[in-house]
Amino acid sequence: MSRKFIRNDGRKPEELRRPYKIKLGVVPRANGSALVQSGKTIVMAAVYGPKKVIPKHLEDQEKAILRCRYNMITFSVKDRKKPGPDKRSAEISKLIENALSNVVMLEEYPRTAIDIYLEVIQADAGTRVAALTAASLALADAGIAMKDLIPSTAAGRVNGHIVLDLNKEEEDVEDAIDLPFAYIPSTKEVVLLQMDGIADIEEIEEIIEMAKKGCDKIYEMQIKAIKEKYGSYLEE
């Protein structure tokens, strides 16, 4: 990988999109919320619960049920998106739900539900990884017991170069590879790994390593955001 390669938005291969911003408490009426901005991609997450399960027959006597709803607002993309859920939204909702189930201590909240609403306000690629990062933060903001946070980003190949955090223009390059990735920093357990494109094993390993380094940068920002809001409580 050449360090001299400069991308279409001026970034080096190993750089996250700019700006990369995290903010907690963006939805006052939610139990916890967060906003993640990665370049032109903006996602907001809101958590409600633990709360009573409705209908009651869905409750689990031993743990909470975790429910995620990922949605792209109609004006989030250039071509107006048809409102309402679709197959892609349902798939991403389930992916995020499964990833978070690895860190949320659901057994601490039996017979309850924890609902996570994810709204893509503006999309320029990488919405699922931004949504997962935001959901993790919103759960922490809600005070939900968790084993760790989950940072998430994507890496891939553009014009023969391994790069971090692809934007939409890079994703659309012919023969590009996009690999959404998330892992639990404390255990190194991978909880999200997908790939669009074709690559050999060595190239995939290099892309994953790039994604891990990106996640580590995001994890530092997640911890910083929590400390900025709850620092005085954490010190007690």
> pLDDT in tens for each of the 236 residues of the chain?
445 788 989 999 999 999 999 999 999 999 999 999 999 999 999 999 999 999 999 999 999 999 999 999 977 766 656 666 789 999 999 999 999 999 999 999 999 999 999 999 999 999 999 999 999 999 999 999 999 999 999 999 999 999 999 999 999 999 899 999 999 999 999 999 999 888 899 999 999 999 999 999 999 999 999 999 988 555 55
Which amino acid type is present at position 141?
D
pLDDT at 79: 61
pTM of the shown model: 0.93
Residues 100-136: tens digit of each pLDDT: 999 999 999 999 999 999 999 999 999 999 999 999 9
Residue 97 in domain: yes
Domain containing 173: what range? 20-231
Pairing of the two strands 65-72 and 112-122: parallel
Phi-psi region of 155 (alpha: psi -120 to 50; beta: other; left: phi over 0): beta
Residue 3 in domain: no
Residue 59 in domain: yes
pLDDT at 6: 86
Total structural domains in the chain? 1
Residue 8 in domain: no
Is residue 86 a contact partner of residue 152, using CB atoms and an 8 Å limit?
A: no
Is residue 47 a contact partner of residue 96, using CB atoms and an 8 Å limit?
A: no
pLDDT at 82: 66
Residue 153 in domain: yes
pLDDT at 233: 58
Q: Which two tokens stand for residue 109?
A: 């909240």
Q: Which two tokens stand for residue 34?
A: 């967060």
Question: Residue 143: which CATH number?
Answer: 3.30.230.70
Spatial distance between the Cα atoms of 171 and 176, rounded to a whole number of angstroms: 6
| H or E segment to which residue 179 belongs | strand 177-184
Residue 5 in domain: no
Is residue 31 a contact partner of residue 142, using CB atoms and an 8 Å limit?
A: yes
